[in-house]
Amino acid sequence: MTAPSYAVVDPATGATIKTYDLIGDEALTDAIGRAAAAGAEWGRGTSPEQRAAVVRRVGELHTERRRELAEIIVREMGKPIEEALGEVDFSAAIYAYYADRASELLADEPIRLLDGEGSALVRRTPVGLLLGIMPWNFPYYQVARFAGPNLLIGNTILLKHAPQCPESAAAMEQIFHDAGLPADAYVNIYASNEQVERIIGDPLLQGVSLTGSGRAGAAVAAIAGRHLKKVVLELGGSDPFLVLENDDLDPVVAAAVAARMGNGGQACNAAKRFIVLDRHYDEFLDKLTASMTAIEPSDPSREDTTLGPLSSTAAAERLEQQVEQALASGARLVAGGGRDGAYFSATVLADIAPDNPAYSEEFFGPVAQVYRAASEEEAVRLANDTPYGLGSYVFSSDAAQAERVADQIEAGMVFVNVVDADGAELPFGGVKGSGFGRELGRFGADEFVNKKLIRTGG
């Protein structure tokens, strides 16, 4: 390749701040070998308590360097500074969660024998070298939920971040090393897609975790399958937000805006399709539109900014094309739709028919789609009529209805009468086209681990 593919390009200004060279093939071979060999020292040569101490220190260093880290991702992908600081804090909490629960998560699990004398147990041990392929929208958080549990387990990591996040990737690698992790147990690499394929096929690699698009997930899963490698995929989402029986729509609308507009709408698990019972539809649409359009894009470095630019001009152009195609296919533009470079105004679409491409696409940005449902049953049908199945939101003042509907939603996660409720202890992941496997909580700590049976006779 003639030019570096990794660069910090400030989406607010379009200025290229710094470029980074791809790793060479010889250096990549060396990195794979060193990271795999580091498992002997890190995974087998340390106790869970020793590994927990390092993971805890990683979290503490995130807190100590929170402003520096936050400012990096403001210029890398345009995240408003207050949200960037919040992401750093959440990442620190994830490392603390795993460090505090090392003995619990890695404890031997006795099995009661049905027949025979002696004993049996499952012991959790590391599987070895893992590859993490991370996206740009949450540069620190995505790494934390992958690296935190897997380093605690004793696995070692090659980390391939998004090409627009090289500075934050390097800052994290430095934190791991400063925390006391052996240098080769976590290696940041600026690799091409072709090099990623080579890494996955290397016999030293034991597993891959990818967060990204469905296209990227399918490609990685196909390569991993050919080489019999475990893979965890967290892909896209077009999460439904169901507005059912409610006496007061104001708090529901506030929650809807928060669920749609966080990170500029650039989140896999953001609410994207608002499915509203007929009797609430007009009022909800009016109030949602007023609240959405009151949010104006502005400089992400300002502390009062809630909507910065999208991650790049290219991302804003893609979103603009999706909106234009939706309108050409019969959707109604209720408000918004404007673009200025990488900045995109808060937008509301309605009257989207099933044959409209927008009906089944993911809109990665501040665009809300609003659907009318004649009944609870139709609301559930609309919610499930999507190729995705990541998260979902159910708002109802009728507790029985909320529970009934939550049980019928085809998604990995259902949030009832609450948004922004992710936590280090809560499993994150989806079904259908949104991928498979889980991150965070004890389920995330069980993905890349050898659950070794040890059966002892009497």
Instruction: Report the catalytic residues.
Output: 234, 268
Quick count: other Cβ atoms within 10 Å of Cβ 63? 15
H-helix or E-strand spanning residue 322 = helix 313-328
CB within 8 A of 192, min separation 6: which ones? 1, 5, 22
Give whole-number Cα distances, 131 to 179, 189, 200, 231, 304, in Å. 21, 10, 8, 10, 37
| Alpha-carbon radius of gyration of the chain | 23
432: left (phi over 0), alpha (psi -120 to 50) or beta: left
Displacement of CA 250 from its chain's centroid (Å): 29
Displacement of CA 122 from its chain's centroid (Å): 30
Helix/strand/coil percentages in the chain, nearest 5: 45, 20, 35
Place of tokens 């804003």: 316
Between CA 18 and CA 208, with CA 182 as vertex, the angle to 5 degrees is 70
Residue 222 CA to residue 293 CA, distance in Å, equals 42
Give whole-number Cα distances, 154 to 51, 58, 78, 170, 229, in Å. 7, 15, 34, 22, 18
Give whole-number Cα distances, 277 to 4, 305, 378, 395, 406, in Å. 51, 33, 9, 11, 16
According to DSSP, the β-strands at 271-277 and 367-373 are: parallel
Give whole-number Cα distances, 390 to 17, 139, 271, 439, in Å. 35, 20, 10, 12
Q: Nearest-CA neighbor of 172 among 62, 73, 279, 67? A: 62
Is 112 buried (19+), middle (13-18) or exposed (0-12) by CB count in 10 A? exposed
